[in-house]
Amino acid sequence: VIRCRAAVAWAPGKPLSVEEVEVAHPKAGEVRIKIVATGICSTDDHVRQGSFPNAEFPVIPGHEGAGIVESVGEGVTSMKPGDKVIPLCIPHCGECSYCLNPEANFCQKSHMCEPQNLLPDKTSRFTCKGKLIHHFLWISTFAEYTVVPEYAVAKIDAAAPLDKVCLFGCAFSTGYGAAINTAKVKPGSTCAIFGLGGVGLSVVIGCKAAGASRIIAVDINKDKFAKAKELGATECINPRDFNKPIQEVLTEMTGQAVDYSFEVIGKAETMIAALASCNMNTGICVMVGELDSGSEISIDPMLLLTGRTWKGTVLGGFKARESIPKLVSSYLEKKFNPEPLITHTLPFAKVNEGFELLRAGK
């Protein structure tokens, strides 16, 4: 058993508490990882607030990490102690009908199909003050050590800087893949991205890589505009600067609305605006942002009847165990640079400060 620090959410709506936890040894088919760096994603804030579906408390959140294999359980063959890895918030068992479908990336062992509050054998590897602590998406990267099923871990290049490639566990892969895989943005097209957090800026990078000619970034926080332009946005607009709906503004700017729109905020009203912002014949709108659990959206069916396509994406459509190591290698070959997405680097004890910065749009 390893004793280490972890940020525990004891109850919904409360700040995380940095505690000493016990992390049990990996059982058969499991890997114990020393987490070196982790990002903070809005999904972790949904967990902390109690608005993520099926999350159980107390829980160790975090799902955007990178680390080094410390030990492996019986039967693990794809990695060994000392390997650099990224734990995966979307597992890839390689055996279910979804994994075997080349067009699907959602494993039937993922949290949309079965709860991931405990490991597959329905037990936890975390205890604190004598109490069982739940896992989050099986990976719980807000712990200095974590235990994960082998099929929810990707081995990556030994040269990868872990404090940078932790972003590939969620934010970068989700946004970049939304443009490349889900929308399949075409060269010369026009795109609009609603929301310029880490994931939205990753969509900008993906649209640029795909050869879009106009990339219109939309956010109410003007402080995001300089970075959006640095990463490839051609124009930046603030909905608060107009006295008409933003979809009308985008339609006037482009003449017939955009070819591709991306909602990367997680609000019902911006999802409807993004759908209405893409052109009525062939426009594709991708839902990337995450609404609170139990939310519903009402739309005018004419938005879809005329030909628009409305799609969702999780982890950017990437089959994680296969694709994330390749993305890391492409980054090491300097094919794209996600490093500007990192705004602050904090010591682990200041995890709650990180959430304050996230909520403040910083």
* d(C-alpha 298, C-alpha 4), whole Å: 46
Do residues 285 and 274 touch, judged by C-beta distance below 8 A?
yes
Matching residue, tokens 């609603």: 194
- Regarding whether 335 and 288 lie in a shared domain, the answer is no
- Regarding whether 290 and 266 lie in a shared domain, the answer is yes
- Regarding whether 159 and 39 lie in a shared domain, the answer is yes
From first to last of its 362 residues, the chain has per-residue pLDDT tens of 999 999 999 999 999 999 999 999 999 999 999 999 999 999 999 899 988 888 899 999 999 999 999 999 999 999 999 999 999 999 999 999 999 999 999 999 998 888 899 999 999 999 999 999 999 999 999 999 999 999 999 999 999 999 999 999 999 999 999 999 999 999 999 999 999 999 999 999 999 999 999 999 999 999 999 999 999 999 999 999 999 999 999 999 999 999 999 999 999 999 999 999 999 999 999 999 988 878 899 999 999 999 999 999 999 999 999 999 999 999 999 999 999 999 999 999 999 999 999 999 89
Full residue range of the structural domain in which residue 266 is found: 183-312
For residue 67, tell me if it sits in a domain: yes
Predicted local confidence at residue 294, as pLDDT? 82
For residue 178, tell me if it sits in a domain: no
**CA angle (220 as vertex; 218, 222 as ends), nearest 5:** 90
End-to-end CA distance of the chain: 38
Query: Dihedral through CA 104, CA 106, CA 112, CA 118, nearest 10?
Result: 160
3-class SS string, 280-332: CCCCEEEECCCCCCCCCCCCCCHHHHCCCEEEECCHHHCCHHHHHHHHHHHHH
The answer for residues whose C-beta is within 8 angstroms of residue 334's C-beta and 6 or more apart is none
- Regarding whether 126 and 81 lie in a shared domain, the answer is yes
For residue 339, tell me if it sits in a domain: yes
**CA angle (209 as vertex; 101, 281 as ends), nearest 5:** 70
- CA distances 12 to 15, 53, 63, 93, 292, Å, are 9, 12, 18, 31, 14
Matching residue, tokens 């000619």: 213
Predicted local confidence at residue 114, as pLDDT? 85
What's CA 106's distance to the chain center, in Å?
A: 14
Do residues 181 and 324 touch, judged by C-beta distance below 8 A?
no
Type of residue at 79? M
Of 275, 290, 312, the domain-final residue: 312
Helices (H), the chain: 42-49, 97-100, 162-165, 171-177, 198-209, 225-231, 246-254, 268-277, 302-305, 320-332, 351-359
Of 293, 312, 331, the domain-final residue: 312
For residue 83, tell me if it sits in a domain: yes
Matching residue, tokens 């649209």: 207
**Cβ neighbour number for residue 288 with a 10 Å cutoff:** 30
For residue 176, tell me if it sits in a domain: no
- Regarding whether 215 and 164 lie in a shared domain, the answer is no
For residue 54, tell me if it sits in a domain: yes
Q: Are strands 145-149 and 214-218 parallel, antiparallel or unpaired?
A: unpaired
- Regarding whether 205 and 130 lie in a shared domain, the answer is no
- Regarding whether 204 and 107 lie in a shared domain, the answer is no
- Regarding whether 335 and 201 lie in a shared domain, the answer is no
- Regarding whether 131 and 14 lie in a shared domain, the answer is yes
Q: Is the peptide bond before 301 cis (omega within 30 degrees of 0)?
A: no
Q: Which residues pair with 192 in a beta bridge?
A: 216, 261
* d(C-alpha 119, C-alpha 116), whole Å: 7
Question: Domain of 202: which CATH number?
Answer: 3.40.50.720
- Regarding whether 192 and 126 lie in a shared domain, the answer is no
What's the Rg (C-alpha) of the chain?
Answer: 20
For residue 324, tell me if it sits in a domain: yes
Predicted local confidence at residue 301, as pLDDT? 94
Summarised one tens digit per residue, pLDDT across range 66-114 is 999 999 999 999 999 999 999 999 999 999 999 999 999 999 999 888 8
Question: Domain of 326: which CATH number?
Answer: 3.90.180.10
Matching residue, tokens 């890589």: 209
Q: Which residues pair with 249 in a beta bridge?
A: none
DSSP 240: G
For residue 109, tell me if it sits in a domain: yes
Burial of 329 (0-12, 13-18, 19+ CB in 10 A): middle
Domains identified in the chain, total number: 2
Tokens linked to 117: 């509050």
Ramachandran angles phi, psi of 261, nearest 5°? -130, 150
Predicted local confidence at residue 115, as pLDDT? 87
- Regarding whether 303 and 231 lie in a shared domain, the answer is yes
- Regarding whether 341 and 215 lie in a shared domain, the answer is no
